[in-house]
Amino acid sequence: MGNRISDTTIRMVYHIHPRDMNQYGSIHGGRLLTLADETGFLAAHGHAGQRCVTVGVHQARFFRGAAAGVHIEIEAQVALTGSTSLWVPIRMRLAQEERALVMDAVYVYVAVDENGRPQPVADISAHTSDERTLQKHMLAIRDAFLGSRP
């Protein structure tokens, strides 16, 4: 049956520094993507138990800015696995009371050996209705991606 989606959840809190700002006084989108990748990697690596490399980013969406001095919460979890791939949705929210969504994305990782060859990963399973909905969403993204490849 595989490991549970909820068992792969990683939550991080990041304090936004002045060096993270873009010219408009908001956290740089590239910095958000890096933080998402780092957190998603932790979820993927934790599930796979081996090296993982990023092979894709899907649906990266930016909803609002965040200023220096603010904390953002980053949440990632493995929601779908292929034979060697791990599909990880990532959400970033303001850590303040309003909990406004800053960014979301889906990162795809592949487990690899020391020579960079893809390695099998354990299945992940959905146990709640929210997890089943999330997994169906990941399947739709994966199927659309695989169907659009040349």
Residue for token pair 């893809």: 118
Work out the number of other CB atoms within 10 angstroms of the CB of residue 64.
11
Q: What is the mean pLDDT of residues 42-49?
A: 97
Number of domains in the chain: 1
| Residues paired with 58 in a beta bridge | 106
Average pLDDT, the chain: 94
Tens of pLDDT along 28-41? 999 999 999 999 99
Tens of pLDDT along 98-132? 899 999 999 999 999 999 999 999 999 999 999 99
In this prediction, residue 16 has a pLDDT band, given cuts at 50, 70 and 90, of very high
**pLDDT given at position 1:** 46
**pLDDT given at position 150:** 63
The percentage of residues in the chain with a pLDDT greater than 70, rounded to a whole number, is 97
Structural domain harbouring 18 = 3-147
Identify the residue with better confidence: 71 or 59: 71
CB 94 within 8 A of CB 40: no
Q: Which value, to the nearest 10 degrees, does the dihedral of the CA atoms of residues 136, 95, 13, 89 take?
A: 10
**pLDDT given at position 147:** 77
Q: What is the mean pLDDT of residues 43-69?
A: 95
139: domain CATH number is: 3.10.129.10
**pLDDT given at position 23:** 94
Query: Would the CA dihedral through 10, 13, 19, 21 be positive or negative?
Result: positive
**pLDDT given at position 148:** 67
